[in-house]
Amino acid sequence: MATISAEHSLALLADNYAGGMWRFSIYNGAAELVFTDPRMDGTAEVPTGVDDICVRPGELYSTNSTMAFFGVTDIDPLTGIKTGNATIIASGLSVPDGSELLEPASARWAGDAEDGA
């Protein structure tokens, strides 16, 4: 889960079975599936996909342990609606599970020791 608009009390919540993002209001609990993306899906063998998200204005960063990558998707900074396709930043990772955005253009993720994470 990540805040997309503190001013409007909106957050995004990853749905690893639907391969997408739900937006919900912290004020009234209203929720809706705002988008899905094939890169956030699981596989036939492992149905869970996207498992961690971080947001910067206009960008949604995510990990997908099943597909072993860390990526970014362009989003509307106020609504969380997808405005571009998911782009893989790093792939072939051993179980990336969790990420943290550091200074601009820098990130790290938790995974197996093989990745150096």
Least confident of 11-20, 24-33, 100-109: 100-109
Q: What pLDDT, on a 0 to 100 scale, did the predictor assign at position 116?
A: 43
Taking the C-alpha atoms of residue 103 and residue 70, their distance in angstroms, rounded to an integer, is 17
Taking the C-alpha atoms of residue 88 and residue 39, their distance in angstroms, rounded to an integer, is 9
- Show me where the domains of the chain are located: 2-115
pLDDT tier, 35 (very low <50, low <70, confident <90, very high otherwise): very high
Least confident of 16-20, 26-30, 107-111: 107-111
Least confident of 2-11, 56-65, 103-112: 103-112
**68, 112 Cβ separation under 8 angstroms:** no
Q: What does the longest C-alpha to C-alpha distance in the chain come to? A: 43
Q: Which residue has the higher pLDDT, 102 or 14?
A: 14
Class of CATH domain 2-115: mainly beta
What is the DSSP code string of the chain? -EEEETTTTEEEEEETTTTEEEEEETTT--EEEEEE-GGG---SS----EEEEEEETTEEEEEETTTTEEEEEEB-TTT--B-S--EEEEES-SS---EEE-STT-EEE---GGGT-
